[in-house]
Amino acid sequence: MKKVACFGEVMLRLSTPGNKLFGQSANFNACYGGAEANVAVSLATFGIPASLVSRVPANDLGECVLQELRRHGVGTQGVYTGGDRLGVYFLESGAGFRSSKVIYDRAHSAFAELKPGMIDWEAQLAGHDWFHWSGITPAVSQGAADACLEGIKVAHSLGLTVSCDLNYRSKLWRYGVSPQAIMAELMAYTHVVLANPDDARHYFGIAASGYHIDDPAYNEAVLRQLVQAFPQIKTAVSTLRRTVNASHNSWGGLLLQDGEAYTSPTYELNPIIDRVGGGDSFMAGLIYGLLNFENDAQKALNYAVAASALKHSIEGDANLVKAADVLHMLEGASVAARVSR
């Protein structure tokens, strides 16, 4: 069975309970998450052997991260220990017409203090078939960006498929470098990419004029430009999210492969329990779909969208639904809300 390695930071997530504002909350709900770890957890839950390459402090919180990953079946042999602290992020979940808010506290974390040469990439990627990273990782620090490039180059030399979720985060990229220059070099080795128009614009100056923002043709035009800029990309995808309010979105996806565009069915997500990790669950579903439905791009896309639609009903960072749940939804979404007896 194909094996997937993911590289990224795991953080402690502290979220306000019951859609409270930060100023209303006397306590926080705690869990662990991070874009690439979320992908690994979802893949492991789907039955795909998945491991995480990361760095956590050698303290109780670092041990909690390892226990959480292992609980979900994610391999932790690539999680190094060192540094002084675990990164943290605070989440105020929106509702109705009030947006969610995120505050990062991850400067000088164990992961942010990574340096080139700290990770034995040959050892960590041996026996794997796929390597996944996201645009969040090089945004954390120069050291993390350098380590990411090391991993991508080794993955490329070993013949692994390399995937990326561009994941532009305006609150990161604060260490005085050009995101465009760093991301262009990393993208040169990437075969599968999840890119929304804002990501492509911020990272590569790619834009498409003459389209309404909610028109799938807009996303398709951006993806075609991205593939033209980076011709080694074999599969480019974009989520199609239309926001009614924080509690109600429509959700779909678009995939471009070999010059042909595929569009998924659209799901109405209402009410949304937790949209954090929605893109990560889409990415995990896409990887699963491309590995299991090799010659059926439409089915791979539909699986990714259905998996991520289900994630919006689950509190926490990671998607915890099994492959059978997603396939059941694909067979007939109308029965999804019935009680399973």
Asked, for residue 139, whether it belongs to a domain, the answer is yes
The answer to the question of residue 97 being in a domain is yes
Look at residue 340 and tell me if it is in a domain: no
Residue % of the chain over a pLDDT of 70: 97
- DSSP state string for 187-217: HTT-SEEE--HHHHHHHH-----SS-TT-HH
Residue 36: which residues within 8 A CB-CB, separation 6 or more?
A: 6, 7, 8, 9, 52, 54, 132, 133, 134, 136, 137, 280
What local confidence, expressed as pLDDT, does residue 214 receive?
A: 83
pLDDT cut 90: percent of the chain above it: 90
pLDDT tens figures, 177-218: 989 989 999 999 999 999 999 999 999 999 888 888 888 999
Residue with tokens 């992908």: 39
pLDDT-based confidence at residue 341 (cuts at 50, 70, 90): low
pLDDT exceeds cutoff 50 at 100: yes
Decide if 221 is inside a domain: yes
Among 163-172, 241-250, 292-301, 324-333, the minimum mean pLDDT is found in: 324-333
pLDDT for 335 equals: 46
The pLDDT value recorded for residue 212 is 83
Place of tokens 């164990």: 110
pLDDT score for 221: 97
Residue 282 · residue 43 · CB < 8 Å: no
CA dihedral 67, 135, 194, 132 (to 10 degrees): -40
**In this structure, is residue 174 part of a structural domain?**
yes
If you average pLDDT over residues 114-137, what whole number do you get? Answer: 97
| pLDDT 10s digits, 299-328 | 999 999 999 999 999 999 999 999 999 999
Given a cut of 90, is residue 162 above it in pLDDT? Answer: yes
154, 121 in Cβ contact below 8 A?
A: yes
Residue 184 belongs to some domain of the structure: yes
Q: Which domain holds residue 271?
A: 4-330
240: CATH:
3.40.1190.20
Domain count, the chain: 1
Give exposure, 125-156, as e/b (b: 16+ Cβ within 10 Å): beebbbbbbbbbbbbbbbbbbbbbbbbbbbbb
| 279 φ/ψ sector (left φ>0, alpha ψ -120 to 50, else beta) | alpha
Residue 339: the pLDDT is 57
170-176 mean pLDDT: 91
Evaluate whether residue 336 is within a structural domain. no
What's the whole-number average pLDDT of the chain? 95
61-81 pLDDT tens trace: 999 999 999 999 999 999 999
Residue 78 placed within a domain: yes
pLDDT of 334 strictly over 70: no
pLDDT-derived band at 117, boundaries 50, 70, 90: very high
